[in-house]
């Protein structure tokens, strides 16, 4: 039986989510700044995906296994301990960009960081733009 995706578009207000979910002032400020940057770089308005992901744009994917769904092209979540930033594809070689990004750890498809000031924003912009380009080429979004 196919599993239902948990990360789906919702009609929850991004502003309401930040005001109710994000407890620390610095994290709220960083969230609002990230929204400005990702909106500018992607050209998309922020929308909530699932209960905690702020996404920009969307694309439809289908894996060889037959699993398919929709996901934001770029996104982030202001988690309790740190931010989860969804701007990379595991299939794409980002080369030296990740080395120049700053202080972060890496998951399979996301970058974890504590504060926005820990990241080089010029490098983050390049990373986001390359990710958008890759997603458009691979998925036609």
DSSP code per residue over 63-98: -TTS-EEEE-SEEEEE-SSSEEEE---TTS--GGGT
d(CA 73, CA 16): 22
On whether residue 42 sits in a domain, the answer given is yes
Q: What does residue 71 show for φ and ψ, rounded to 5 degrees? A: -150, 155
pLDDT at 38: 98
d(CA 86, CA 84): 6
Note down the domain range covering 125. Answer: 14-139
Residues of the chain whose pLDDT is less than 50?
1-2
pLDDT at 114: 96
On whether residue 90 sits in a domain, the answer given is yes
On whether residue 2 sits in a domain, the answer given is no
On whether residue 7 sits in a domain, the answer given is no
pLDDT at 90: 67
pLDDT at 95: 73
On whether residue 5 sits in a domain, the answer given is no
Neighbour tally for 137: CB within 10 Å: 10
On whether residue 8 sits in a domain, the answer given is no
pLDDT at 93: 75
- Enumerate the H helices of the chain as residue ranges: 14-21, 25-42, 121-139
pLDDT at 84: 96
Distances 108 to 8, 96, 115 between C-alpha atoms, Å: 20, 17, 20
Spatial strand order in the sheet of 53-56:
46-49, 53-56, 74-78, 83-86, 111-113, 105-106
In DSSP terms, 105 is beta-bridged to 112
CATH number of domain containing 88 = 3.90.1150.200
On whether residue 22 sits in a domain, the answer given is yes
Q: How many domains does the chain have?
A: 1
pLDDT at 3: 53
pLDDT at 9: 80
pLDDT at 69: 86
On whether residue 1 sits in a domain, the answer given is no
């Amino acid at each position: 039986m196919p599993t239902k995706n948990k990360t789906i578009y919702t009609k929850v207000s991004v502003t309401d989510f930040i005001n109710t979910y994000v407890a620390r002032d610095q994290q709220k400020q960083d969230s609002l700044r990230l929204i400005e940057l990702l909106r500018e770089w992607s050209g998309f308005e922020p929308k909530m995906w699932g209960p905690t992901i702020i996404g920009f744009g969307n694309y439809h994917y289908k894996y060889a296994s037959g699993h398919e769904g929709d996901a934001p092209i770029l996104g982030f979540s202001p988690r309790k301990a740190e931010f989860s930033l969804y701007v990379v594809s595991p299939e794409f070689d980002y080369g030296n960009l990740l080395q120049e990004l700053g202080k972060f750890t890496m998951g399979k498809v996301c970058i974890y960081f504590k504060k926005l000031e820990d990241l080089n924003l010029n490098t983050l912009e390049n990373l986001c733009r390359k990710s958008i380009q890759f997603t458009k080429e691979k998925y036609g979004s």
